[in-house]
Structure 1
Amino acid sequence: MKVVIVFGTRPEAIKMCPVIKAIKRCEGLECCVCVTGQHKDMLQQVLDVFHVKADYNLDIMREKQTLYDITYAVMEGIRNVIRKERPGIVLVHGDTTTTFAAALSCFYEKIPIGHVEAGLRTRNKYSPYPEEFNRQAVDIVSDLYFAPTNSAKDNLLKEGKKEELVFVTGNTAIDALKTTVREDYNHEILNWAAGSRMILLTAHRRENWGTSLENIFEAVRTIVDEQQDIKVVCPVHKNPIIQETAHRILGNHKRIKLVSPLNVIDFHNIIAKAYLILTDSGGIQEEAPSLGKPVLVLRDMTERPEGVAAGSLKLVGTDKEQIKRNLKNILRDSKEYLRMSSAQNPYGDGHASEKIVKILMEWRERYTKNEK
């Protein structure tokens, strides 16, 4: 059975490359990789690390592209790919615009869809935006659901999905860490931060652009000024809005290092060496707890409540005073830090990709019978 895997952004690539590798090791499944290029350079870095070659690259990325542009370009490109390949199933991941548009194209062509990282919910369609809508819409048209946790499965069952089509696999992000995190890793950033408690800061969410992003950066700069033993590393997203805000507020500080987006090996290993993480990202909420790092989540709600329940994540929002208060607390309270850093990882055992392949093989048997 032919499996077409579609993704377009760096986070999707990190989480889908282990699935691709697992499918390619499996007799009975043929893997076809289609990237949309929603991210371009950052996407290729991940493919190189995992030694994955795309069979199709839609190369949709354009300067100042909008959600309209991405959706149209992906739908048109995916339509052509699936009409040519006629796969038994198409796998999409998570909640990007690539994922939504690809799933909708498959639905129009009546091609079965498998949703990796299905069932995550905040139940607020604008938080995160547009991701919450994307993931709910994809789950409406999917045929197989690979839920990372039991709570994600419960969300799907409450929405009426058939239990025999929903599988708890763990998160493939944990699988990826086995390839990227290295004991002997070194980097100039680590040399720069030596002797200090290093904080990794990432902020890029569309709903945080403007005042919220300024609040985040201003709060961090204030704490760095007050706490002489910390240094902050901030990989700055390439979006011009984020670039301008980050350099205006955080630039020219001797203990804040603004860097270009890091490749996946550097990024994962710097997470592993960091003291704690400040982020509005989704994927880091899974990766950091797996590496024993506390995470202050720069959002008011999260679709990954398991980490909050386990104690490894804490929602701190985007209010300047609240961020400062929570950051001060964890820097000063060693018991709180130990509690968060030693919390059990709720996102799986690093074998999610293998579980997905096993489920696909069972799907293949049904698919083959139907073909006969």
Structure 2
Amino acid sequence: MKKIMMVFDTPEEAMRICPVIQKLKQMEYKPVVLIPKQVETAGIMEQVLALFEVEPTHILSVDLEPQTLNQLTAYALNELARIVKHEKIDTTFVCGSTKIAFIAALASYYNGVPVTQAQTGEGEEAAAFLGKSTEALMAPLVTNHVVLGLETALEKAADQYVHSMPIDNYDTQKIILFDYQGKSNQRQILEKSFQAIKQITDIYKEVIFIIPIKLTTLVMELANKILKGQKQVYFVKPLNVLEYQSFMTRAWLVMTDHYNSLEMAQILQLPVLIMEGPRNKNSHDNYGVGTVIRFSKVQITEWIERLLVDSGFYEEIARRPSPNKKIQTIEEMIESFVQK
């Protein structure tokens, strides 16, 4: 039976790769699952693995003293090389461009094991080991590339994890996710956004805004000043990956300052208003279901109102095709790398 080492590092990567692991088991391959020891995200990782009934075969510990980068890298490389030899790995599958992905690819390359690297959509560069240069660094080690989609993960998460909010009926409300991930001390940006939210909720009673954000002094000050008494606005703690994906399946619109949610929104045919700022300056106006607008009260309000009153316009944006290349099915992806 062919052994395939599956290496991933974060709960976000686990959401993509666990459906592949499940399918490999059904196809009578033996996945050898390797993850590094989790610290900050241990609880979330456990939930994701349990959701897909995946158990790690090896957990790479990095509890070394002193923890210099040289020592950690050497330790990880030696451990991964040992696992590749001991398990008699036939092929390695790494997710993303993090340090563990690079070291797993290097250990496999040194032992003559072919490596497939999975690309994971928008926002990948931010988590890369060496930023944009990672692609060139990994290139000599990787024999195959695939694109990991989120369709299966979204289906699985939709009915399992719903953030606890006092919303009576998701089906009759238009829920807008205000997903701002910039600095919470940006007074002007937050003030304009909150003013637009107030204007919309004053007029359209079917609209509910969910704002997952850290409640800093500034956020609390502006919320009390602009949105106090607005029963259609809910501030909640930042969502983890399971809560976020589950919530996206129930949202009507997303307002954001980044591109990380676009892949999910494209699958769900959910319009996204991308508010232009330092994180996405000089962006294209349209990106599939995403539309770049200015961070201004007038433009935010005008766009939301048009989407509310013109269902045809809403559907037009929701059905705009993605500019990305077609994502392979899990079966197509497996077929492309198990033969290597």
The TM-score by the shorter chain falls in which range? Answer: 0.7 to 0.9
Q: 2-side partners of 1:40 and 1:278: how far apart?
A: 29
Residue 367 of structure 1 aligns with which residue?
none
Q: 2-side partners of 1:233 and 1:331: how far apart?
A: 15
Give 1:43 shift: 1.9
Q: 1-side partners of 2:154 and 2:219: how far apart?
A: 30
Q: Structure 1 residues 119 and 332 mapped into 2: Cα distance closer, same or farther (>3 Å)?
A: closer
Query: Which residue identity lines up with residue 30 of structure 1 in the other structure?
Result: K
Query: Which residue identity lines up with residue 89 of structure 1 in the other structure?
Result: T
Residue 280 of structure 2 aligns with which residue?
300
2:196 aligns with one of 223, 241, 247: 223
- The answer as to whether partners of 1:10 and 1:43 remain within 8 angstroms in 2 is yes
**Two-structure CA RMSD over aligned residues (Å):** 4.2
Give 1:98 shift: 4.0
Alignment of 1:231-250 (within 5 A): 231-236=208-213, 244=216, 247-248=219-220
Deviations 1:50-89 (A, max 9, x none): 1111112235599xxx9x86x9746633540332233222
2:167 aligns with one of 144, 168, 191: 191
Give 1:90 shift: 1.9
- Bigger Rg, which one: 2
Q: 2-side partners of 1:101 and 1:327: how far apart?
A: 44
Residue 357 of structure 1 aligns with which residue?
334
Residue 314 of structure 1 aligns with which residue?
291
Q: 2-side partners of 1:302 and 1:83: how far apart?
A: 47
Query: Which residue identity lines up with residue 3 of structure 1 in the other structure?
Result: I
Give 1:145 shift: 0.8
Residue 24 of structure 1 aligns with which residue?
25
1:256 aligns with one of 230, 234, 250: 234
Give 1:48 shift: 1.5
Structure 1 residue runs without a partner (length 5+) = 149-170, 237-241, 364-372
Q: 2-side partners of 1:278 and 1:72: how far apart?
A: 43
Q: Structure 1 residues 127 and 9 mapped into 2: Cα distance closer, same or farther (>3 Å)?
A: closer
Give 1:199 shift: 1.7
Alignment of 1:266-277 (within 5 A): 266-277=243-254
Deviations 1:11-48 (A, max 9, x none): 11111111111111122x32111112263222222112
Q: 2-side partners of 1:99 and 1:215: how far apart?
A: 39
Give 1:283 shift: 4.8
Residue 34 of structure 1 aligns with which residue?
34
Q: 2-side partners of 1:178 and 1:328: how far apart?
A: 32
Residue 166 of structure 1 aligns with which residue?
none
Give 1:288 shift: 1.3
Residue 141 of structure 1 aligns with which residue?
141
Residue 82 of structure 1 aligns with which residue?
81
Q: How many corresponding residue pairs? A: 314
1:10 aligns with 2:38: no
Identity of aligned residues (%): 18
Q: 2-side partners of 1:209 and 1:244: how far apart?
A: 10
1:177 aligns with 2:154: yes
Q: 1-side partners of 2:71 and 2:273: how far apart?
A: 35
